[in-house]
Structure 1
Amino acid sequence: MIMHCVLVRFRSEVQAEEKQAIYDGIAALQSVIDGIVDVKAGPNVSPEGLDCGYMDGFVVTFENAGARDTYLDHPDHKAVGYKLVEAAAGGQSGILVFDWKV
């Protein structure tokens, strides 16, 4: 399996409803892209203070790297990804992606 972790620094004016709409769009991909096992999203709740400004994030779990690659190229992913980049502080520089094989 592949865990696709995305941390986000949203622009300060982005409201909770807009964040949730983005997360809902990501979760909806599970019904249209084969190989997505699970989607979880939400705010950082760590008390450590090591978030570097990434106060929100989501994890998409895939059956394998092929499913992840299909997701990355899928037009519905690109559409929700565009909304995420628009909402992130500094655009793409406000997003951190880390994938690992589990």
Structure 2
Amino acid sequence: MAVKHVLLARFNDEVSPEAVDDLIKGYANLVSLVPSMKAFHWGRDVSIENLHQGFTHVFESTFDDAEGIAEYIAHPSHVEFANRFLPALEKVIVIDYVPTAVN
């Protein structure tokens, strides 16, 4: 069963929009570098409810299972990317979940 890996982020104010774009491209490129990462989607907060608690970006990756996430976390391409990405963030939350359909 697929597992979703969701990362909510707020970039540091001093990170330029161009640098943010480059980081997002690097994140998206991990799909081609990490075999266990099956899909990647991202977006900016557009909610009118103002409940985002300062988070501005959502990143969602799909894996076949929890072992795939463990492989992703340890993969050298992810480690290298995380060393550039995480220092650019002011806030971050990561949640992994198994989607459940409602019948």
Shorter chain as denominator, the TM-score bin is: 0.7 to 0.9
Extract structure 1 runs of 4+ deviating beyond 2 A. Answer: none
Aligned-pair Cα RMSD in Å: 1.2
TM-score, normalized by length of structure 2?
Answer: 0.87
Matched residues in 2 for 1:65 and 1:47: separation? 33
> Are residue 28 (structure 1) and residue 29 (structure 2) matched?
yes
Gaps in structure 2 of 5+ consecutive residues: none
Instruction: Provide the aligned length of Structure 1 versus Structure 2.
Output: 98
Matched residues in 1 for 2:75 and 2:8: separation? 20
Larger radius of gyration: 2
What percentage of aligned pairs have identical amino acids? 29
Question: Could you tell me whether the CA contact under 8 Å between 2:34 and 2:77 is conserved in 1?
Answer: no
Q: Secondary structure at the match of 1:18?
A: helix
Residue type of the partner of 1:71? Y
TM-score, normalized by length of structure 1?
Answer: 0.88
Gaps in structure 1 of 5+ consecutive residues: none
